[in-house]
């Protein structure tokens, strides 16, 4: 049976050295009967050969550019919406239709984050449970929990909004890259929602994790100083440094963050007071869950307004 999302959404599949698991992902994605653009981040195994056999459109990059590879796939899409997918998961078709309908109905909705079900037992990903309880108020009358960030491999995005803010910045590579896109979208007035009826199945693999933790710490610090207001940036830096395990990744992440500090401060554009107050609500919940002492020193949102 034909679905109305077929001409509205393109799946952009990001791949890297995933020959051992990509067959199942391709099988599920091909069943959606939507355009698929696979962007390969310079794999050194036979991933691209398997992609060729599937018949999907392939863009093979000469070097691994991390999350910014998604920009290449989005540029190839001829549909108004793009469903970003990593090489260890896939979407349910009915959910894609729901996401497309929502964005059709709400022109300022830039992004819909799916409910993530993990492995064959379909366990709810803890980040999905956290998103569903977002304390940020809805001011736009759009269904779903209000988000200020998301999960990169489980979102349907409005192509025009994505391109308006420049997509992913190659300087961040990968690791916690979502806020590097989420904050610019929010600052530009775009809305983001978590919608549980949109579903992604995730079979996580750590095969290509590499220095992900170090990059993630660096990116978190860079993003804080690029977009947060001064006091918010200071507090979140303190929380991040206290909350991160002290090991070689910690030292490497700090070193990389300091190396990039000149360009971060040169390009710094703090968000509005209202957006910063919304973000502080999310911070307070994270602090209370993981660092109670920091949480008690954190002012209430009303004091930030």
Each residue's pLDDT tens digit, 38-55: 999 999 999 999 999 999
Dihedral of CA 30/32/34/40: which sign? negative
| Mean pLDDT value across residues 256-260 | 97
* CA–CA dist 290, 115 (Å, integer): 23
Q: What pLDDT does residue 285 have? A: 83
C-alpha R_g of the chain: 19
Q: What is the pTM of this model?
A: 0.91
Q: What pLDDT does residue 205 have? A: 81
Q: What pLDDT does residue 112 have? A: 98
Q: What pLDDT does residue 135 have? A: 95
Strand-pair partners of 13:
38, 85
Q: What angle do CA 129, 134, 139 make, to 5 degrees?
A: 145
- CB-based contact 209:256 (threshold 8 Å): no
Count of Cβ atoms closer than 10 Å to residue 211 Cβ: 16
Count of Cβ atoms closer than 10 Å to residue 209 Cβ: 11
- CB-based contact 84:177 (threshold 8 Å): no
| Mean pLDDT value across residues 154-160 | 98
Percent of the chain's residues with pLDDT above 90? 87
Entry field: residues in the chain: 305
Pairing of strands 154-158, 81-86: antiparallel
Torsion of CA 185, 191, 197, 202, to 10 degrees: 10
* CA–CA dist 236, 242 (Å, integer): 10
Helix, coil or strand: residue 141: coil
Q: What pLDDT does residue 302 have? A: 32
């Amino acid at each position: 049976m034909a679905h109305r999302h077929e001409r509205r959404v393109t799946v952009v599949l990001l791949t890297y050295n995933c020959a051992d698991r990509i067959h199942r992902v391709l099988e599920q994605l091909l069943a959606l009967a939507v355009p698929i653009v696979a962007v390969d981040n310079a794999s050194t195994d036979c991933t691209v050969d398997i992609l060729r056999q599937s018949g999907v459109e392939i863009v093979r990059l000469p070097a691994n550019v991390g999350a910014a590879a998604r920009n290449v796939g989005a540029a190839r899409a001829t549909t108004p919406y793009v469903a970003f997918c990593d090489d260890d998961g896939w979407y349910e078709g009915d959910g894609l239709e729901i996401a497309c309908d929502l964005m059709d109905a709400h022109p300022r909705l830039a992004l819909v984050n799916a409910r993530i079900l993990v492995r064959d037992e379909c366990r709810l990903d803890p980040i999905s449970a956290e998103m569903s309880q977002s304390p940020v108020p809805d001011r736009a009358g759009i269904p779903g929990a209000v988000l200020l960030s998301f999960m990169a491999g489980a979102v349907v995005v409005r192509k025009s909004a994505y391109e308006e803010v420049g997509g992913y910045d190659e300087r961040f590579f990968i690791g916690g890259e979502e806020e590097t896109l989420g904050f610019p979208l929010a600052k530009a007035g775009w809305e983001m929602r978590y919608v549980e009826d949109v579903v992604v199945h995730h079979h996580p693999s750590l095969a290509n994790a590499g220095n992900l933790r170090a990059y993630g710490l660096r990116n978190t610090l860079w993003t804080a100083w690029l977009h947060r207001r001064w006091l918010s940036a200071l507090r979140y830096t303190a929380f991040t440094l206290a909350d991160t395990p002290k090991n070689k990744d910690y030292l490497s992440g700090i070193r990389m963050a300091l190396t990039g500090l000149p360009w971060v401060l040169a390009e710094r554009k703090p968000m509005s007071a209202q957006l910063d107050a919304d973000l502080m609500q999310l911070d307070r919940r994270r602090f209370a869950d993981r660092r109670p002492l920091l949480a008690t020193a954190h002012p209430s949102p009303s004091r930030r307004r």
